[in-house]
Amino acid sequence: MPQTVRPPASARRRNWIAAASVGGIVVTTTALGAFALGDEAPEPARSTGSAQEAAAAQAKITLPKVKWKRSWSDEFNGRGKPSKAWTPVLGNGTNGWSHKALHYYQAGNSYQDGRGNLVITAAKTSSSAKLNCWYGRCRYVSGRVQTKGKFHQTYGRFAVRAKLPTGKGIWPAFWMQREGGAYGEIDVVETVGSKPRLVQGFAHAQRRVGGGGVTLAKPLSAGYHVYGVDWTPHRVVWWVDGRPYAQMKAYRNWPFNKPFYLILNIQVGGTWPGSPDKTTRFPARMQIDWVRTYRG
């Protein structure tokens, strides 16, 4: 498989704050409750947090007024291997594909459980495993699947209903990459497991990063949530359970105007989440109920 090179994690986290003035970023840290999301556009968020600044910032963000229609979905109603829409990524790559990841991707770590979920599992390797990573014998295995070459879309609503694992050194994500040309990446949701209630979403270009985060009332591992982005020619808006929490406005020559494909994975360790410790529980499971995309 071709190696995927993403901007260094430390630079990504450092630069998105500085990009606020040019990317139109709004960030909130308001606690949210659950919200049932159907195929219709949800209502704008009503903040339940007590911090006035966070409530005021969130009030500035609205979802695009688009009547969305389903364009593609995977409900994961099978058993065993993921559907043919997804291709597993294998290996660890040079320097953990630029993030110093500690895991090795295996096809068997992504499977349909026969109960309506795609399950991606990160686990410790067995003593008999002979898998080599950039740092020596791989200490962990995990899974990653993507739709590259099979499904991609420019603009729309992209959503996943999932229960995400938490724990130090655990980094689950649903994200998208541009098919070719200038680098572009939209992280619909990605979490650093040591902050179990924090939802985050970002967009990455060669020199600009935008997005933000929001803190929920309970750990993300406590139940399913719907995480999504509404991506239009004018902006990207991040939301959870139908409530927007961050946005990035379009700028001249931004790369978010071409088809992107979908990715689901769990990273173990690396420069952003840090290494697991004795408090990290394995196996760590990302349970995905469905992935759905929409067009306006």
What would the two tokens of residue 136 be?
A: 């020596």
* Annotation marks residue 53 as catalytic: no
For residues 293 and 234, give the distance between their C-alpha atoms in angstroms, rounded to a whole number.
18
For residues 32 and 47, give the distance between their C-alpha atoms in angstroms, rounded to a whole number.
7
- Read off the DSSP letter of residue 168: T
User: Strands 144-146, 110-113: parallel, antiparallel or unpaired by DSSP?
Assistant: unpaired
- Read off the DSSP letter of residue 58: H
* Annotation marks residue 190 as catalytic: yes
For residues 75 and 97, give the distance between their C-alpha atoms in angstroms, rounded to a whole number.
29
Q: Of 43, 53, 179, 185, which residue is the catalytic one?
A: 185
Helix count (H) and strand count (E) of the chain?
Answer: 3, 20
User: Angle at CA 148, nearest 5°, toward 228 and 250?
Assistant: 45
For residues 159 and 227, give the distance between their C-alpha atoms in angstroms, rounded to a whole number.
6
Omega within 30 of 0 (cis) for the link into 172? no
Residues annotated as catalytic are 185, 190
